[in-house]
Amino acid sequence: MDTTVFVAVIAAAALHAGWNALLKVGLDRFLTATLIQIGAGLVALLGLPLVAVPIASAWPWIALSALLHIGYNFFLSRAYQYGDLGQVYPIARGSSPLMVAGLSWLLLDDRLTSLQFGGLLVLVVGIWLMALRGGQRQGTQARLLACALLTALFIAGYTLSDAIGARLNGDALSYSVWVFVVNGAVMAAVLAISRGPQAFLQLGPYWRSGLAGGAMCMLAYSIVIWAMTQAPVALISALRESSVVLAVLLGVLLLKEPLRPIRLLACILIMSGVVLMKLA
């Protein structure tokens, strides 16, 4: 993989971990996700005068991406009803690169070398190992696993949708700005329909955090969208999940969370997978 693309995706992973660590607000998971999407959409509005309107063939993929994000937020929120962050997040984020690898091979003819696929598998095993940290539950229940895997499927879906849309558009920046504007508007509409206009009053006190987190989210995923026009989608999808390691480090350094042996082993496996993919 080209070094510039590799470094850019690792930087995007750092941004992803950063806004997740910084955004500790008193809202449920669905409201927090919606706050970020609306914040990113508002920031993206500022960029509209600076970019071209996407070509006609890119718009169905922008619309599909917005719809898939609804499913992602819904099933992620449901998964958190059955398990904690330490269980849900690794299963959802760790499973999506494997789904992307299979679907991108079928839909985009993106093929990985043996070493690249081996690195992806090592990284995924490391992320799944994070789930063994556990919470108060003794094992992953069927409903938790189902919701987490459906979340992973929606992650894979919008990842591929955006990769195809950006490649068709020929301008990743234009595509990413417009996709965030549309997605922010759609999530605002979903919130109004599902919880009523009064839900926006709950978001009001956190608007600064929403804009800051939204800006970081937009920048991180815009880098990923660009990278998916430069390299196989499966590799980019897997590399961005190295944010799990950065999130653990931020938790240890900033929140004084303990670094348990199982999590240290998981971090080592994830970084080993990253190295293998870079060397391939």
Q: Which residue reads 């069927």 in tokens?
A: 142
Q: Which of 13-22, 67-76, 88-97, 175-184 is the least confident region?
A: 13-22
Span 168-188, average pLDDT:
95
Give the residue, 62 or 13, on which the prediction is more confident. 62
> Is 116 in contact with 277 (CB distance < 8 Å)?
yes
Q: Per residue in 141-173, pLDDT tens?
A: 778 888 888 999 999 999 999 999 999 999 999
Alpha helices in the chain, H assignment, sequence order: 3-22, 29-47, 59-82, 85-107, 114-130, 142-169, 172-195, 199-203, 207-227, 233-240, 243-254, 261-279
Rounded distance, CA 86 to CA 150, Å?
17
Rounded distance, CA 164 to CA 233, Å?
10
pLDDT at 136 over 50: no
Give the residue, 235 or 90, on which the prediction is more confident. 235
Burial class, 24, CB count within 10 angstroms (exposed 0-12 / middle 13-18 / buried 19+): exposed
Rounded distance, CA 4 to CA 96, Å?
24
Predicted confidence at residue 111, as pLDDT, reads 81
pLDDT at 255 over 70: no
Predicted confidence at residue 68, as pLDDT, reads 95
